[in-house]
């Protein structure tokens, strides 16, 4: 069993959540909080893995330089706006 000192502000908030009927007990509030932290940590782990993969691919030369990407984007949005290059922003 875990016993935690939440401090007055958090303790008051947890008590208000239970009193409002949103949660049945203080334990439910804390379990929900821990579940949310688990979800966030899983998302961060997935982002870290994706970033590591992207960096490894970039280091291996598997990327496209920024100038090429911006040129493609500019051409795409000019075409979508019906403007030819050099005719204003």
pLDDT value, residue 82:
85
pLDDT less than 70: residues of the chain: 84-89
pTM for the whole thing?
Answer: 0.65
Longest dimension (CA), the chain: 69
Domain boundaries, the chain: 7-81
Q: Per-residue pLDDT tens for 10-33? A: 999 999 999 999 999 999 999 999
pLDDT value, residue 59:
92
């Amino acid at each position: 069993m875990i016993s935690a000192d939440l401090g007055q502000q958090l303790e008051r908030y947890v008590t208000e959540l239970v009193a409002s009927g949103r949660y049945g007990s203080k334990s439910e509030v804390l379990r929900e909080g821990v579940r949310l932290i688990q979800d966030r940590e899983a998302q961060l782990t997935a982002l870290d893995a994706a970033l590591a993969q992207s960096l490894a691919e970039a280091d291996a030369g598997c990327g496209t330089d920024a100038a090429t990407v911006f040129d493609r984007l500019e051409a795409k949005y000019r075409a979508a706006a019906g403007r030819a290059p050099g005719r204003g922003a």
